[in-house]
Amino acid sequence: MSLPVVAIVGRPNVGKSTLFNRIAGERIAIVEDKPGITRDRIYSKGDWSGQSFHLIDTGGLEFDDQDQVIEHIRHQAELAIEEADVIVFVVDGRSGLTATDREVGLMLHRADKKVVLAVNKLDHLKHHEDIYEFYELGFEKVIAVSSLHGTGSGDLLDEVVGYLPERKEEEYDEDTIRVSVIGRPNVGKSSLVNRLLGAERVIVSPVAGTTRDAVDTPIRAHGQDYVIVDTAGMRKRGKVYESTEKYSVLRALRAIERSDVVIMVLDGANGIAEQDKKVAGIAHEAGRAVVFVVNKWDAVDKDDKTMKRFRLEVEDHFSFMSYAPILFISAKTGQRIHQVLPKVKEVAEAHAHRVSTSVLNQVIQDATMSTPPPSVKGKRVKILYATQVAVKPPSIVIFVNDPELVHFSYVRYLENQLRESLGFEGTPIRLMLRSRK
């Protein structure tokens, strides 16, 4: 189920990022503490009245080919129009209505988008009448806020949530494996998808996805149904957008949301880039199963150690995802293409795998017998009982006498034991410690 997208637009200095941080709350700080997790600040998750959504601060997007402020804002607004379900248009209540505000307002009207107008920097009640001149922009929902003090943001979120689309039911049946193909521009994503389609001689009929401009491509191979989600987004060659790295990350985010398995394409000929790490981090955080595909292997000068070296490099860059298998392929020559879908199926099965409580506890017991949890300050850790509470990804609650006593590295150890023993290979596992005396 993919989350709706809310985008914040407005000219510089009106307080977009302050508002963004306000809505995103503490999430960003938490996310930044974890290794391997994206530090990208332009999007976060928001929650209000039991509804979750992705929040984008378009102010954080940078475009290569602009020096004019107005052009810059126009691009941001275009993106928001394209990507978002609801737009929060921020203006500065203290400086009054400007020509740029009017222009952005016009764009939003023309696009016929759901817009909530946030008149910001109204820090005191006595400023609140400054809101009236902004009605001229012609939006129905106009809310006075102070992002600095946090006032008005509740009312703002009420309106935003009121505009969110109904949550859609799952578009494909349970047995269909939803796959996204992710990677930087030019790593060979389209070539890979075309190869998969060609290689499998299958029913190929792009179907218009129910999500905005998404086009999904179904494939049936070896009796298994797959759907490659958002092939449109993948092929998209946005004139301006292609140049902005954060935009690519954003697109990936949406595709990842909609998939069970992420094929993360790396460029064997040109190496691993920082952006790859960000995108992979999103897939990991979202709890998707992942297959690394090192493409363009035909174009690599190889000896008998090259593959091993590259494998180590992948493991090193993506050390937080050691569960993900790595394939070396060429979309151009077709080398090892036939391994891709079977591998996707394998990790998808692990991702959806459910083990019985008795088997689970047997494995935990064996693991703790062979390597007992170390005592902390003379206190013994007791592992009492485990149960799997969810799939996709497999999520396991372990009851212990005191979660504080269990060292991070021991959790890692248990995770690896579970993965090896229980058929969870290729998928992240969520382990949660709960206290029970």
Residue 46 among known ligand-binding residues: no
Instruction: Give the nearest distance from C-beta 234 to ligand GDP in angstroms.
Output: 6
For position 242 contacting ligand GDP by CB under 6 A, the verdict is no
Tokens standing for residue 408: 């991070």
Helix (H) or strand (E) holding 144: strand 141-144
Q: Which stretch binds ligand GDP (CB under 6 A): 146-154, 200-208, 251-259, 351-359?
A: 146-154
CA 370 to chain centre: 37
Instruction: Give the nearest distance from C-beta 189 to ligand GDP in angstroms.
Output: 3
Classify each residue of 118-153 as buried b or exposed e, where b means 16 or more C-beta atoms within 10 Å of its C-beta: bbbbbbeeeeeebbeebeebebebbbbbbbeeebbb
Instruction: Give the nearest distance from C-beta 147 to ligand GDP in angstroms.
Output: 4
CA 271 to chain centre: 23
Q: Say whether 361 sits in a helix, a strand or coil.
A: helix
Beta strands 215-221 and 224-228 are antiparallel
With tokens 């709350």, the residue in question is 25
First to last CA, the chain: 37
Instruction: Give the nearest distance from C-beta 264 to ligand GDP in angstroms.
Output: 12
Pick from 276, 233, 270, 275: nearest CA to 254: 233
For position 367 contacting ligand GDP by CB under 6 A, the verdict is no
Residue closer to ligand GDP (CB basis): 217 or 295: 295
Residue closer to ligand GDP (CB basis): 14 or 88: 14
For position 120 contacting ligand GDP by CB under 6 A, the verdict is yes
Site for ligand GDP in 174-213 (CB under 6 A): 183, 185-191
Q: Distance between CA 119 and CA 116 in Å, rounded?
A: 10
Q: Distance between CA 109 and CA 379 in Å, rounded?
A: 64
* DSSP output for 392-414: TTTEEEEEES-GGGS-HHHHHHH
> Contacting ligand GDP (CB under 6 A), which of 4, 15, 46, 233?
15
Tokens standing for residue 430: 């969520």
Site for ligand GDP in 260-299 (CB under 6 A): 295-296, 298-299
Residue closer to ligand GDP (CB basis): 188 or 393: 188
For position 331 contacting ligand GDP by CB under 6 A, the verdict is yes
Instruction: Give the nearest distance from C-beta 10 to ligand GDP in angstroms.
Output: 6
Residue closer to ligand GDP (CB basis): 237 or 377: 237
For position 147 contacting ligand GDP by CB under 6 A, the verdict is yes
Residue type, 11: R
Q: Give the count of residues interacting with ligand GDP (CB under 6 A).
A: 30
Cα pseudo-dihedral 309, 337, 320, 176, rounded to 10: -170
For position 22 contacting ligand GDP by CB under 6 A, the verdict is no
For position 58 contacting ligand GDP by CB under 6 A, the verdict is no
Annotated binding site for GTP: 10-17, 57-61, 120-123, 183-190, 230-234, 295-298
- The site for ligand GDP (CB under 6 A) is made up of 10, 12-18, 59, 120-121, 123, 146-148, 183, 185-191, 295-296, 298-299, 330-332
